[in-house]
Amino acid sequence: MVVVWSDEAKADLKKAYKYIALTSLQNATIVLNTLIDCTFELSANPEKYTFDKFKKNNDGTWRAFEKYKYRISYRVMGDEIIIVRIRHTKMSPLKF
């Protein structure tokens, strides 16, 4: 399976990196690399994480996980895994 990042998810990751880098460039790099690695590991096992509890009418293709207090939402579509969104867990979930 191929992992594809949405433009929104890329922007979210960039914002997180910039925010963490304000206090520690080293930590920002660690978080960035770890989150990217976690998403690319999904290609081997896309159903590794639970269904996204914030997705209304989830048909089973929407999943999510948390790492370093960031929540990564993704969708399994055919032979693609689409990284949809990344947000800090203290943020209110968006309705989607």
Which pLDDT score, from 0 to 100, does residue 55 have? 87
pTM above 0.85, yes or no: yes
- Domain extent listing, the chain: 2-88
- The string of pLDDT tens digits covering residues 71-90 is 999 999 999 999 999 999 88
Q: Quick check: 28 pLDDT over 70?
A: yes
Tokens for 37, please give them: 């690695």
Which superfamily does 2-88 belong to?
RelE-like (3.30.2310.20)
- The string of pLDDT tens digits covering residues 45-65 is 999 999 998 888 899 999 999
Average pLDDT for 31-46 = 96
Distance CA 96, CA 50 (A): 17
The label of the residue with tokens 């979210």 reads 12
User: DSSP assignment of 22-84, as one string?
Assistant: TT-HHHHHHHHHHHHHHHHHTTT-TTSS-B-TTSTT--S-EEEEEETTEEEEEEEETTEEEEE
